[in-house]
Structure 1
Amino acid sequence: MTNQQTMLYQGVQIPRPVLNVDLHVLPNFTGRIVLYIENGKVKCDRRLLEEEHICALDTFIEMAREMELRIQEVSGGNDCNKNS
């Protein structure tokens, strides 16, 4: 049985890595947070709202295709409307 303080990695039991993180939330916060970690240090964190979801780009494209949405690339900078 695996101890909570170790994990199995490539057939070897190793100590679980620990990352101490200071989160910018209230003590009674319940929810989801996205962390950006670089070289083992948290560079930023952000709360996710209830209606927000995260997925990889290929997953987003697959979902859009399943819903038969058409995605079209738009070029032209900040103001693409040539009629204004």
Structure 2
Amino acid sequence: MPTEQRTINHRGANTQVPVLNIELHVAPDFSGRVVIHFEKGRAICHRRLLDREHVASLDSFLELARMAGYRVSEGN
């Protein structure tokens, strides 16, 4: 199946948007979120996120904890 190559303008230059062809092993009626791990431009694994799972950086997680009233400190 041919994929139409799109371009974007980045810093004044038209650049082709990379197309990654990967195979996801999910049910045909799947609707949800998937985390894909890439190494050197290749998808090496993927995992479906459950409804109650979220992805965040450590800094974002700590900020949310502080906003929720938790005290965050370094420990030994």
Bin of the TM-score, shorter chain as denominator length: 0.7 to 0.9
Give the distance between the partners of 1:58 and 1:72, measured in 2 at CA: 13
How far, CA to CA, are the matches of 1:7 and 1:40 in structure 2?
19
What root-mean-square deviation, in Å, do the aligned CA atoms of Structure 1 and Structure 2 show? 1.8
For residues 5-16 of structure 1, the aligned pairs below 5 Å read 5-16=6-17
TM normalised by structure 1 equals 0.75
Counterpart Cα distance in 1 of 2:75 and 2:36: 30
Q: AA paired with 1:40?
A: G
User: How far does residue 70 in structure 1 lie from its aligned partner after superposition?
Assistant: 2.9
Q: Distance in 2 between matches of 1:29 and 1:65?
A: 35
Match in the other structure for 2:39: 38
Percentage identity across paired residues of the two chains: 44
TM-score (norm 2): 0.82
1:62 and 1:31 map into 2 onto residues whose CA distance is 26
Higher Rg of the two aligned structures: 1
Rounded Cα–Cα distance in structure 1 between residues aligned with 2:24 and 2:56: 22
Equivalents in 2 of 1:40, 1:55: separation in Å? 22
C-alpha separation in 1, matches of 2:12 and 2:58: 32
Q: What is the one-letter code of the residue matched to 2:28?
A: P
Alpha-carbon distance between aligned partners in 2 of 1:45 and 1:39, rounded to the nearest angstrom: 15
